[in-house]
Structures are given as structure tokens and as C-alpha cells.
Amino acid sequence: MKKFLSMAVLCAGIMGSANAVVLMSEDFDAMTVGSPLAGNSGFDPFSDAPFYVSNLRSVSGANSARIDSSVAGSRWAWKNLAPGAGTIGPNRIVIASADIYIESEENARDTLTGLDAYNSAVNRIAAVRISRDTGVVSLGIGTFTATNLVALMDRWNKLELVMNFNTGTATAVLNGVASANSVTISTANAVADVDLYAVRNTGATSASHYDNYMVQAVPEPATMTALALGLAAIARRRKVA
């Protein structure tokens, strides 16, 4: 009976909407403070050098990733997903997330911080970014549109990019609140990587920190139902035995 109840609880968990498969996760705590992300702990060696490990701020644990504003331009740091992990096969919804601490911009240079998703051909699927001048969250692919979401400065904000290949849409989520607008994405895409992303202008003075960097996939309901039924069958066999 105990085994049956345990399997029933597990089935309920699988059927729950929160049951996502973690494709990649990093909290930076096992990495050496001051070391660059490039080539470190699975980060792609082509990641940009301005991203490094810091112990100045963290959501949990000791470390986070930091990018300063000393170098102007667009910068990315990323971990590649396992080949095929982000395909649209069973994983029709892919969710990228990170806790981001945004230092308020001292001189209104409108620098940007966010998440940027790409396919294996290095074409952008969608990106979400926060203005470190205004806190406004924008969403787009080539052209970006402001959303109804506004991040708070000088505190941690949880930013998510939800790519739904069932509906062909990408949505921003900030601190649990979804954007009113979305952007159209190709349903033929497969996620190869989701990057920590920053754009800085000359003279910008702020920095950003990233923690709990993660990419998850939500299997199709049919896949989850089949898995749950399989577990229920195993439970019945154990009960009979």
C-alpha cells in the first residue's frame, strides 16, 4: 500500500503543470570567484569575457554572475543544451529563466539586460530584456516592443522567456506576471541555447548580476499522460504482487 501511495503521489506530480524537465541549470556557487564564465563549468568558450563570477550578490548560496558596464556593446554568455534537448519533439514549451539584480543607471544610458534564445543555426528565436534606465521589459526578435512589465531597480527580479511552440508565441514573465503581449516565433525552431544577454552604451555606470540560470522543457500533455499511466500500471502490478 505504501508503494502504491508513493506512485500515486508521483503520478500527480507528473500531471502537474509545474513538472518541467530541467535541460540546464547553473547557480554559480561551485565556480571560482573572479573567474570568467567563458569555458568555465560548461559555459561555451566563446562567451564574452565581461561576464565573470562574483560574490557581491546572490539570491541563494554565495555566488552569482556579474557583468560590468566598462565595455560598450552587446555581450552574451551561454551554456549549450545537449544535442536535441531543446527540440520541439516532446518539448513543445521551453522556459528560460534567471534571477537578475539590476543596479539603477546613474546617467540614463539605457543599457539592457536579459535572456536571448537561439537555434542551432545561430538565429534568434526570441529575446526578453530589461532597460536598466527605466526598468521596462521589452520582447522581440529583431524589433523589440515594450511590455506592460516593469522591473524594480536595485533588487532581484525573476525574468522568464516562455517559448510555446504549440502556439508559435514567446512571452515574457517578470516576478510571476506574464506580459500582455507576445511575439510570434517559428514552430519549426529548436532551442540550442539561451544566453545571458547584456547591451551597454559608452559611459554606462551600472552592473547586473545573474543567479539561478535555468532552461526547462514542458512535455506535451499526451507525453505526460502516457508516463503517468505507465507509472500507475507499475503501481498496480506491485500491489498485486
Give the span between the Cα atoms of 185 and 86, in whole angstroms.
Answer: 15
Is pLDDT larger for residue 103 or for residue 123? Answer: 123
pLDDT for the residue 140: 97
Fold topology of 2-240: Jelly Rolls (2.60.120)
Closest CA to 154 of 132, 137, 171: 132
How sure is the predictor about 10, in pLDDT bands with cuts at 50, 70 and 90? very low
Phi/psi class of residue 46: alpha, beta or left (left: φ > 0; alpha: ψ in -120 to 50)? alpha
Q: 49-58, 114-123, 198-207: which range is least confident on average?
A: 198-207
Condensed to tens digits (0 to 9), the pLDDT of residues 19-77 reads: 788 999 999 999 999 999 999 999 999 998 789 999 999 998 999 999 876 667 888 99
How sure is the predictor about 109, in pLDDT bands with cuts at 50, 70 and 90? low
Contact residues for 168 (Cβ-Cβ < 8 A; gap 6+) = 184, 185, 186, 187
Is pLDDT larger for residue 220 or for residue 134? Answer: 134
Kindly tell me if the per-residue pLDDT of 241 is higher than 50. Answer: no
Kindly state the average pLDDT of the residues 205-232.
67
Is pLDDT larger for residue 174 or for residue 67? Answer: 174
Amino acid identity at 176: G
CB atoms within 10 A of CB 15: 13
Q: Are 49 and 66 in contact (CB under 8 A)?
A: no
Kindly tell me if the per-residue pLDDT of 91 is higher than 70. Answer: no
- Domain map of the chain by residue range? 2-240
pLDDT for the residue 182: 97
Do the bridges between strand 208-219 and strand 21-26 make them parallel or antiparallel, or are there none, so unpaired?
antiparallel
Q: Indicate the burial class of 82 (C-beta count within 10 angstroms; 0-12, 13-18, 19 or more).
A: exposed
How sure is the predictor about 231, in pLDDT bands with cuts at 50, 70 and 90? very low
Q: Are 94 and 190 in contact (CB under 8 A)?
A: no
How sure is the predictor about 133, in pLDDT bands with cuts at 50, 70 and 90? confident
What residues are paired with 224 via a beta bridge?
A: none
How sure is the predictor about 106, in pLDDT bands with cuts at 50, 70 and 90? low
pLDDT for the residue 89: 55
pLDDT for the residue 227: 38
Kindly state the average pLDDT of the residues 126-145.
93
Amino acid identity at 178: A
pLDDT for the residue 126: 97
Q: Are 190 and 120 in contact (CB under 8 A)?
A: yes
